Amino acid sequence: MEYLLKTYRTFFGMKGELKRIFSPYRICPLGAHVDHQHGLVSGFAFNSGIEFLFSANDNGMVEMCSLSFDGLTTFSVRRAVEEKQNNWGDYLRGAVWALQKDYDLKNGVCGVVSGSMPIGGLSSSAALLCGFVMALGEVNGLNLTKMQLIQYASKAEREYVGLNNGILDQACVVLCEADKLLFLDTETSEYKLLPFGDGKSDGLPFKIGIFFSGVTRKLTGTDYNLRVSECKTAAWIMQAYEDIPLKGMEMTRLRDVDEQLFGKYEQRMPERFAKRARHFYSECDRVRQGVKAWQHGDIEGFGKLIFESCESSIHNYECGSPELIALYEIMRNTDGIYGGRFSGAGFKGACIALVNPEKEEAVRENVSRKYLERFPQYRESFRAFFCEPDNGVRLVDVSSEK
């Protein structure tokens, strides 16, 4: 925080009433790659994320600098937002672009953002977007609800940045509560925040382990969008076999196709599409089973499903890099890890795990040593962190820090 404040003072002097937002990263233990098909997901936000220190700019200008990325992003919220520039500022432009559809924005934001972890699979983009939509709402008095925060951040990422994703990331960043599991139906946006063991247990029996492979990549440059289209094509194929009238691809999702139809046509459709559908139906089922295990206080059962989910990501969804697959295999053979998988889309840099807190150091040592034996080239960039579930994006008091 001190460094953030110093940077703010360097760029903006004593200008403005300071506000601070903390926007957490998220993990998705079960429910990977199904949100864009309107499936069932689960998630935690955790106590590491993006900090914003900012104030209102009554001349309408956004002037934001980042401690993680180069360059000051400047533009006016009173004019139509320009084209994407393929840098981090696109997320800020996207947030304004999405809000401008419904609001006449007057005030800009000047400030500093800082991320606490290297980028890669923890949804730093949703943390940045949700936090910035909240900041814009604050300085313009918009009183945005949680659902609106999710919707505007999601619209910005889908329609401005260009990733055809679902609402998993934004929902975790906004809705999560410490000590609870978010269970969300991405078709209806209905959700529950579930205490572990139905609230009968004392605290949580795990920490969140995060293992950065050292590889980072932007999702818009991966097969992410291709996989989304493959899922939609699988839905189309089944509907066509069944003589169901087809809708445009944009409006077609696997959730619209009954699982029984998959049983009927699984062998007949090309294997590539069958695999994507197999992942979808089995993953939604794992989320249902996982919720039961969680509510029964069965951390082993919950963890086992997370490992199975990663198997399906590798073999049915066919994502992951050699580095991530190696990390997953090491995690499977590490005592003290209940379950683990690729984080996020599995094209970028991190694996996550639920770790027995008593074995944290042994887990760190084992995973790091075995991974670096296989990939010594990542000695400088590999990282292991241990975090805890946390509340969603929020304003934080700055009065003591001025």
Residues lying near ligand GLA in the complex (CB under 6 A) are found at: 28, 32-33, 35-36, 123, 165-166, 168-169, 344-345
Minimal distance, residue 319 CB to ligand GLA, in Å = 9
Question: By C-alpha distance, which of 325, 312, 219 is closest to 274?
Answer: 312
Minimal distance, residue 181 CB to ligand GLA, in Å = 16
Residues listed for the chain:
402
Minimal distance, residue 225 CB to ligand GLA, in Å = 11
Q: Which is nearer to ligand GLA, 32 or 331 (CB)?
A: 32
What's the one-letter identity of residue 116? S
The tokens 């106590």 sit on which residue? Answer: 47
Question: By C-alpha distance, which of 33, 112, 44 is closest to 309?
Answer: 33
Distance CA 231, CA 392 (A): 30
Q: Which is nearer to ligand GLA, 36 or 155 (CB)?
A: 36
Distance CA 89, CA 123 (A): 16
Sheet containing strand 337-342, edge to edge, reads 337-342, 350-355, 207-212, 383-387
What's the one-letter identity of residue 176? C
Nearest position to ligand GLA, beta carbon: 165
Dump the DSSP string for 297-333. T-HHHHHHHHHHHHHHHHHTS----HHHHHHHHHHHT
Q: Which is nearer to ligand GLA, 172 or 237 (CB)?
A: 172
Instruction: Retrieve residue 228's tokens.
Output: 């989304």
Active-site residue (options: 169, 185, 298, 397): 169
- CA distances from residue 73 to 85, 217, 340 in whole angstroms, order as listed: 11, 21, 37
Q: Which is nearer to ligand GLA, 313 or 366 (CB)?
A: 313
Q: Which is nearer to ligand GLA, 112 or 153 (CB)?
A: 153
The tokens 């972890």 sit on which residue? Answer: 117
Minimal distance, residue 168 CB to ligand GLA, in Å = 4
Other beta carbons less than 10 A from residue 386's beta carbon: 17
Phi, psi of 326 (to 5 degrees): -60, -45
Are residues 304 and 339 in contact, defined by beta-carbon separation less than 8 angstroms? yes
> Does residue 169 carry a catalytic annotation?
yes
Minimal distance, residue 136 CB to ligand GLA, in Å = 21
Minimal distance, residue 224 CB to ligand GLA, in Å = 7
Q: Which is nearer to ligand GLA, 7 or 154 (CB)?
A: 154
Instruction: Report the sign of the C-alpha dihedral through residues 89, 35, 356, 310, in that order.
Output: negative
Axis-axis angle for helices 360-374, 322-332 (nearest 10): 140
Q: Which is nearer to ligand GLA, 66 or 165 (CB)?
A: 165
- CA distances from residue 98 to 119, 148, 168 in whole angstroms, order as listed: 24, 11, 18
Distance CA 28, CA 33 (A): 10
Minimal distance, residue 379 CB to ligand GLA, in Å = 27
Minimal distance, residue 158 CB to ligand GLA, in Å = 9
Phi, psi of 112 (to 5 degrees): -130, 140
Q: Which is nearer to ligand GLA, 28 or 337 (CB)?
A: 28
Q: Which residues are catalytic?
A: 169
